[in-house]
Structures are given as structure tokens and as C-alpha cells.
Amino acid sequence: IGGLSVGEDREVSVVALAAAVAHLPVDQPRYLMGVGDPAGIVEAVALGIDLFDSVLPSRHARHGTILTSDGPLMIKNLAYARDEGPLDPACACRVCGRYSRAYLRHLHRLREPTGARLLTIHNVAWLSDLVVGLRSAIVEGRYSAAKRAVLDVWG
């Protein structure tokens, strides 16, 4: 499915996506192009979407927006200049395990390509962990609560 996530309100996207999904076979994977924000992902999964692709994790990283369990973190902010903590304390990715917010902010401010690469690695890992968690929530019958938790932060 394509043509969504091009500026319309989320409510409009969800209605259009539901209409499109209603015409797809249930025994085949359902792929949604261009949706990569956490709220969009949980809404799409609730409608039966299985696969996503998006430039959002890398675009956000290049512009200094970090995906975290507490919502977006703007690494450019002066508050992180001396912050020795990980990007997201709840994240187990290799970037959060090795580099501080202060160091990653420094790399980003210098426009060092390594900084964009590390921030992208984190954002992709964070989204991957989100989807793994959603999959577990579906299997365990608690998807509604998981969706609500994501929407409370990202919605």
C-alpha cells in the first residue's frame, strides 16, 4: 500500500488504510510504504499491516531527532552537551551501550558522518525493538494496551 503518509492527518490516513486493507488477501503479507513513525506503525499493525519501510529513522537521525521510549529527543539541545547518559536508558542497542548523549551531540553538531550513522543505527534498532514488542503483544493478547502506551507517548 502506498500513497499514505504524505501530509494528511493521521485520522484520514487510518480511514484510508482501513479501506485499502479490506481489499487485501488475509493469507499474504501486507506491506505499507513510507510509514515509519511509532504512532503510524501501531495504527497500521492494528489494521493488519505486516511490513514497513521508511526513510524516517535516517532522516530523523540526520536532523538530530532521536526515537526514545519517552518520545522524541532533540540531540541538538544544549541540555545534552554534558549528558553522559545513553540516548534511551531503556534501549539495548549498541549505540546506547557505548556512547553518551554528550558525545553524540558533539558529533551531530560537527556534522560528522559517524554521528549520523550512529544515530541512524539507534533509530532503526529502536523501531525494530518496537515492532518486536508489538509482535509479542499480539501473541499475548495485549495489543490494545501496547498500542495505547505507544500512542500516549507518540500519538
Question: Domain residue spans in the chain?
Answer: 10-55+128-154, 57-123
Q: Are 128 and 52 in contact (CB under 8 A)?
A: no
Read off the pTM: 0.93
Residue among 122, 133, 130 nearest 95 (CA): 122
> What pLDDT score was predicted for residue 133?
98
CA distances 7 to 3, 4, 11, 19, 151, Å, are: 10, 8, 12, 18, 19
> What pLDDT score was predicted for residue 6?
67
CA dist 108 and 100 (Å) reads 12
CA dist 144 and 92 (Å) reads 25
> What pLDDT score was predicted for residue 13?
87
pLDDT of 5 over the 80 cut: no
* pLDDT tens-digit series, residues 30-53: 999 989 999 999 999 999 999 999
pLDDT of 7 over the 80 cut: no
Extended strands (E) in 55-126: 65-66, 73-74
> What pLDDT score was predicted for residue 10?
82
